[in-house]
Chains A and B, each alone.
Chain A
């Protein structure tokens, strides 16, 4: 399966298992979603379980919270993460706080799916990576898969989770992994082990990272598309890096990170999102606090620049093999 098919399969599996799971969002019903993630679901499960919504993100999330309070388990889609901002009040002030402020009387078991990330010439409003906004909010979980296998297992676990989950799907790798070389032919998931996806139910526990490449020279912390870019880069450069795919940003798998950095003594954080106040800052601080006496070099952050996401200069903006390569050299020079 490619990642779209895996995500579609996760929703189909969960709708089959739990009559309270419903799917809603702009264009998700009859049409099956602008990325086809919900294709066929309305036909299979009916219009009261999979339906199109008006174009109002605050409405989509607000309505989903009310459905959750009733006892449903909504899976709302926000068409692009760049358009999640109108729903921020509902997500931050309501979904994230509902369990806490009602002392558990009401909960918001939502899974908000949204395509995110760049590398597709999406320009300013189809490329953003706003995960840092959500990792800053207490009460929501943030999940980002990097393979079809993980996408399905993590999405099933997210839908089953009783807390609100922001599930960001890296759309650059919907159809295949991406090594960062935009000028080379695209790959597809059929040749990647992560493309082997079981048809039925399985779950990947939230809060558990995956070591996608074991190594000893340094630790790379990444998620989403950047897992593949970083992996390709270290392999091209012949560096024995340990690459950790975080998969869940909150709650974070701190044990796997700590263990790895204490072993390698060096750490690089890679993300597409802008640098200042990005999740990389949190990762860097945690590594510094917990692994200080094991560090042999300052923690490196390889990120998008602190600018809006550009259109024509996309490959100058994107943290690709050249930027990662220079950071690797810097990190390993002593």
Chain B
């Protein structure tokens, strides 16, 4: 504290505060939702400096009547639209069942992506199968859209004997190299520079594949976000940097990541990068923006930052209770609606879908998830027995096991034998 008296007004510290807390009535009128179709679609070779307006608006394709309008309409065929709709329904059904599995004590942890299904699924459909994805923990839709086995996902969640990650990772921290899905880390935003590095390697090798990465708006505050943005522009890396702005980072509203002052897409401008801000609950807008950014990357025009403006409709994780920090009225009042309902309405509006087929599909995906769960549980659930060979705990720290790990492995085996516990070691 200054001990010399000064004739100045006292400073005050601004600490952001969300608009609505538990018990508050919700009114999202202040959220600026521009009309669908009104946003221009620049050439993919456009100068990054020209993206100011696009990074402060919302690219939207689906209007309130479910029609696809404006220059961003990706003009997808009905089969692709139906596939995206089914993938989104499947992710939602999967999430619900796995959330319940956690509540039933079958696993330790789960995270849903409810309300954000379009962000991962529509983007994945706009990428090539061999483009490399560096997701955060809330893009399980990438795996679903790439046809990854639901049973495998569940095996990972259960850490059972079928788990390709040998029970080493927390549930939902999937990894599938064959599906272009990078190993998920618990440490936020670390995948951002990694994706840029992968893209730089692809470019350095004269490859044609690009990389895409995702982080939440909360994680943009990490230093890795800054370094990734810098590297991406310096080397014009063929990468798509997605920020999923779902308004909440656990209990912190997006204001704590800087959203009171600007948009996340606008961060691109300062780095000299193309930036798009997209209605994240509009699968067609997400698809179109990703397709645009992919083309920009593939033609050596450089990286794109895409902010997906969406809403985390449920708790952060099974360990979280959102009613403790936000109004229960928020999810239903969210002005951009629900991504599944909106794509469904579009398909119905163009005469390619109906309520009966939708209801049948919901039953079908629920049955599929249920059957997959049954199959996965044949390989065990967390806590019921030892699903991995005990000594596998030491595998993969290094390529070859050094002496100190061999000694510790022996110690563990000796302890196990001395303990008399019923955990028979499996070979």
* Interface residues of A, Cβ cutoff 8 Å to B: 22, 48-49, 53-54, 56, 58-59, 61-72, 86, 89-90, 93-94, 97-107, 138-139, 141, 161-163, 207, 250-252, 254
Q: How many Å lie between the Cα of A103 and that of B192 in the bound state?
A: 21
A245 to chain B minimum Cβ distance, whole angstroms, is: 19
Nearest-neighbour CB distance to chain A for B300, whole angstroms, equals 13
What A residues does B168 contact at CB under 8 A?
Answer: 100-101, 103
> Is the Cβ of B183 less than 8 Å from the Cβ of A98?
yes
| Shortest 8 CB-CB contacts between residues of A and residues of B | A66-B197, A62-B193, A59-B227, A63-B197, A251-B402, A66-B194, A70-B201, A102-B183
Complex CA distance for A61 and B231, rounded to whole angstroms? 12
Contacts of B234 in A (CB 8 A): 53-54
* Chain A residue at smallest Cβ distance from B407: A254
A66, B175: Cβ atoms closer than 8 Å: no
For B227, the chain A residues whose CB sits under 8 A away are 54, 56, 58-59, 62-63
For window 218-257 of B, CB contacts with A under 8 Å fall at 223-224, 226-228, 230-231, 234
| Interface residue range, chain B | 35 or more
Q: Which single residue of chain A is at the shortest CB-CB distance from B235?
A: A51
* Max chain B C-beta neighbours (<10 A), residue from A49, A61, A104: A104
A99 contacts which of B185, B204, B223, B399 (Cβ < 8 Å)? B399
B309 to chain A minimum Cβ distance, whole angstroms, is 26
Shortest B160–chain A CB gap in Å is 14
| The residue from A53, A69, A139 contacting B182, defined by CB atoms under 8 A apart | A69
Closest to A206 in B: B402
Which residues of A are found within 8 Å of B194, using beta-carbon distances?
62-63, 65-66, 69, 94
Which B residue's beta carbon lies closest to that of A62?
A: B193
Are A93 and B185 in touch, CB under 8 angstroms? yes
Residues in A with CB closer than 8 Å to B134 are 66
* Interface presence of B328 (CB below 8 A): no
Task: Return 20 A-B CB contacts under 8 Å, by A number.
Answer: A53-B231, A53-B234, A56-B223, A56-B227, A62-B190, A62-B192, A63-B193, A63-B197, A63-B200, A65-B197, A66-B194, A66-B201, A69-B182, A70-B197, A70-B202, A71-B201, A72-B205, A89-B187, A101-B185, A162-B399
- On whether the beta carbons of B197 and A62 are closer than 8 Å, the reply is yes
- What is the count of residue pairs linking A and B with beta-carbon distances less than 8 angstroms? 146
Q: Of all chain B residues, which has the CB nearest A54?
A: B230
Cα–Cα, bound, A59→B231 (Å): 7
If A62-B228, A86-B223 touch, does A103 touch B201 (CB 8 Å cutoff)?
A: no
The distance from the CB of A259 to the nearest CB of chain B, in whole angstroms, is 14
Scan B177-200; emit 1 where CB is below 8 A from any A CB, else 0.
100001101110010111111111
A96 to B370, CA, bound (A): 37
Given contacts A59-B228, A63-B231, A71-B201, contact A103 B164 (CB under 8 A): yes
Task: Return the chain A residue nearest B196 by Cβ.
Answer: A63
Q: How far is the CB of A167 from chain B (nearest CB, A)?
A: 16
Q: Tell whether A103 pairs with B398 under 8 Å between CB atoms, given A59-B227, A66-B197.
A: no
CA distance in complex: A239, B175 (Å)? 57
Whether A139 touches B398, Cβ cut-off 8 Å, given contacts A59-B230, A59-B231, is: yes
Residues of B near A54 (CB, < 8 A) are 227, 230-231, 234
Identify which of B185, B197, B397 gathers the most chain A CB atoms within 10 Å of its CB.
B197
Please judge, given known A-B contacts A22-B204, A90-B193, whether A138 and B187 are in contact too, CB under 8 Å.
Answer: no
Contacting pair B183 A106 (CB below 8 A):
yes
Cα of A94 to Cα of B418 in the assembled complex, Å: 35
List A contacts of B165 (CB < 8 A): 101-103
